[in-house]
Each structure stands twice: as C-alpha cells, then as structure tokens.
Amino acid sequence: RKEVEQDPGPFNVPEGATVAFNCTYSNSASQSFFWYRQDCRKEPKLLMSVYSSGNEDGRFTAQLNRASQYISLLIRDSKLSDSATYLCVVNIPGGSYIPTFGRGTSLIVHP
C-alpha cells in the first residue's frame, strides 16, 4: 500500500461547479499536511496547508480527518484557471519528517 494515495482523475467539471478531492495516508503518526498545485511543466506550488480544525481560503477549503487518515480539498465555483494537478503532501516520520507526495489529481475545468 502506498503511503499517500490519490485518485489520479482526471476530474472534468464545468465552470462554476464544486469539486472535491480526497487523499489518504497510511502512517497515523504523520504530521503536517499540504495541498500543492502543479501546472503543466511547472514546479509544484503550495496551495494551502491543512489544519486540524479545517481551513478555508477563498473558494478553497481543506479538511483533515485523522481518525480516517485522509485530507480533502474542496473547490467551489470552479474557474478555468483552476485546471491543474493537485498534489497531496504528507510529512511522514522517519528520523526526520519526510515530505511524501501523492501522485496527484488532475482537474480540468471546461467552459
């Protein structure tokens, strides 16, 4: 079983739709969770951190469920510019905390 798993998609949604991604992690001692966005042929960029209490940044909402060991990302009112790959990152303990990436979920927002 992979340490961090994501549905690769692609998720194909119309503009204005609400879309949600989940990411599961296997190590219950994991600390710090993040969502990154990666555009085609570009490096990953931090979208938002995921706090235990859940957090919101504009149209984006991130949540952490430690009991079920998953994090989620909700995007409301999707824009064409939201089309990208969304990477889940989990800090997994191992001597020092190691950032481990999911394979990413592709989102395509169409007119």
Partner 1 sequence: SAVISQKPSRDICQRGTSLTIQCQVDSQVTMMFWYRQQPGQSLTLIATANQGSEATYESGFVIDKFPISRPNLTFSTLTVSNMSPEDSSIYLCSARTGANPEDNYGYTFGSGTRLTVV
Residues that bind partner 1 (CB under 8 A): 31-32, 34, 36, 41-46, 49, 51, 87, 89, 91, 95-104
Q: For 69, what's the count of Cα atoms within 13 Å in the CB-facing half-sphere? A: 13
User: C-beta of 22: minimal distance to partner 1 in Å?
Assistant: 16
Q: Are strands 11-14 and 105-110 parallel, antiparallel or unpaired?
A: parallel
Q: Which CB, 42 or 59, lies closer to partner 1?
A: 42
Residue type for position 80? L
User: C-beta of 44: minimal distance to partner 1 in Å?
Assistant: 6
